[in-house]
């Protein structure tokens, strides 16, 4: 699994103590939409990408009594489909863990539902998004960063989001794992 970094205990990006996995790819859609560099994570793109074993990550998570959720963020998790879905599938099916998984994306909910993201064909992307939503306790933070907008407290995540258009939503068919 290709990542930029892993924070084994994060207390900033979700209301529960989390493992924070930083994904390596992004189309820089926020910059493109604004017409100038605005991405707070742009420096991450220059950092080395490393290979990590997803099973080792999951075992580290499961053996840590502090962490209660996983946050997948960094650049853009949905631009790394060959790592995102297999990680979630392994976590849920092989390890049987239903703890919350939070995905921070700059894509809108409509873009993901309609398959307008990443580098695949629309039908494959729609199927991919629907597969992710079929797992328990999947929360997605939607929306691009827009400069000069007020931040706000997101009640689902329990943290401040940088732009008023951003929000988090439980997208799975089943509720939160409390």
Q: What is the pLDDT of residues 69-98, one digit of tens each?
A: 999 998 999 989 889 999 999 999 999 999
Mapped onto helix, strand or coil, the DSSP state of residue 8 is: strand
State the pLDDT at residue 42.
77
For the chain, how many structural domains are there in total? 1
What are the tokens at 143?
Answer: 């929306």
d(CA 157, CA 46): 28
| 90 within domain boundaries | yes
| 61 within domain boundaries | yes
| DSSP assignment string, 71-119 | EEEES-GGG-HHHHHHHHHIIIIIS----EEEEE-SS-HHHHHHT-STT
Domain of residue 72 covers 2-170
What are the tokens at 75?
Answer: 């650049």
| 176 within domain boundaries | no
Answer yes or no: are the C-beta atoms of 92 and 98 closer than 8 Å: yes
- For 92-132, the pLDDT digits (tens) are 999 999 999 999 999 999 988 887 776 667 777 788 888 99
Backbone angles phi, psi at 167, to 5 degrees: -155, 160
| 175 within domain boundaries | no
| 163 within domain boundaries | yes
Q: What is the pTM of this model?
A: 0.91
| 177 within domain boundaries | no
| 84 within domain boundaries | yes
| 103 within domain boundaries | yes
State the pLDDT at residue 147.
86
Regarding beta strands 167-170 and 138-142, do their DSSP bridges make them parallel or antiparallel, or are they unpaired? antiparallel
How many percent of the chain have pLDDT more than 90?
Answer: 66
Please give the residue that has the higher pLDDT: either 92 or 37. 92
């Amino acid at each position: 699994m290709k990542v930029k970094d892993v924070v084994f205990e994060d207390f900033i990006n979700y209301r529960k103590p989390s493992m924070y996995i930083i994904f390596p790819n992004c189309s820089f859609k926020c910059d493109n939409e604004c017409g100038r560099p605005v991405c707070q994570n742009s420096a991450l793109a220059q950092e080395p990408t490393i290979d990590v074993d997803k099973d080792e990550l999951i075992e580290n998570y499961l053996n840590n009594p502090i962490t209660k959720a996983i946050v997948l963020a960094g650049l853009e998790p949905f631009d790394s489909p060959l790592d995102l879905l297999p990680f979630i599938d392994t976590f849920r099916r092989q390890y049987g863990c239903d703890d919350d998984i939070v995905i921070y994306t700059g894509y809108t909910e409509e873009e993901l539902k309609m398959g307008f993201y990443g580098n695949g064909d629309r039908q494959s992307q729609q199927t991919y998004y629907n597969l992710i939503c079929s797992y328990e306790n999947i929360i997605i933070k939607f929306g691009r960063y827009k400069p000069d907008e007020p931040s706000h407290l997101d009640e689902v995540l329990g943290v401040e989001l940088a732009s008023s258009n951003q929000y988090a939503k439980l997208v799975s068919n089943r509720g939160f794992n409390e």
